Amino acid sequence: MARYTCSFIVSVPIDHLQALLLELLQDCGLDVQYYTADYIMAREIPGNVSFSQLVTVEVLVDKSSATETETRMSIVIKNETLPLQLNNHCRQVFDFVRQTIEQSRHWHLIESISG
């Protein structure tokens, strides 16, 4: 199973973050399946790749360490195929979502760590 992770610290009020993330994920072509105040799960819409290559995105918001000006969040992007090539479909979606978060005009990116 391919799995990529990244953590961010963004400067945005926590009560605005969820709506901004939902919009961002939908703009990335993902279908939001489930969300709570500190968790969002979205999936790639079927049709462009095989079923096993469909990507799932999970966003975890760390509400316990959030301040009025900074919020930490982590994303996990995964699918069911083995990452036999460095430039696989899951990695491409991960890079796209990560860049979209880093370049979003809705917040100021303080820190980004890919793992």
Q: Looking at residue 104, what is its pLDDT? A: 93
Q: Name the token pair of 114.
A: 């890919």
Q: Looking at residue 54, what is its pLDDT? A: 94
- Tens place of pLDDT for every residue, the chain, 115 residues? 899 999 999 999 888 899 999 999 999 999 999 999 899 999 999 888 888 899 999 999 998 888 888 999 999 999 998 888 888 999 999 999 999 999 999 999 999 998 7
In the chain, the number of structural domains is 1
Residue with tokens 């709506």: 19
Q: Looking at residue 13, what is its pLDDT? A: 86
Report which of 100, 6, 92, 4 is spatially closest to residue 49, judged by C-alpha positions.
92
On whether the CB atoms of residues 104 and 84 are closer than 8 A, the answer is no
Report which of 89, 98, 83 is spatially closest to residue 7, judged by C-alpha positions.
98
Q: What is the pTM of this model?
A: 0.91
Residue 107 phi, psi (nearest 5): -150, 170
Q: Print the domain residue range for 66.
A: 2-114
CATH number at residue 37: 3.30.310.80
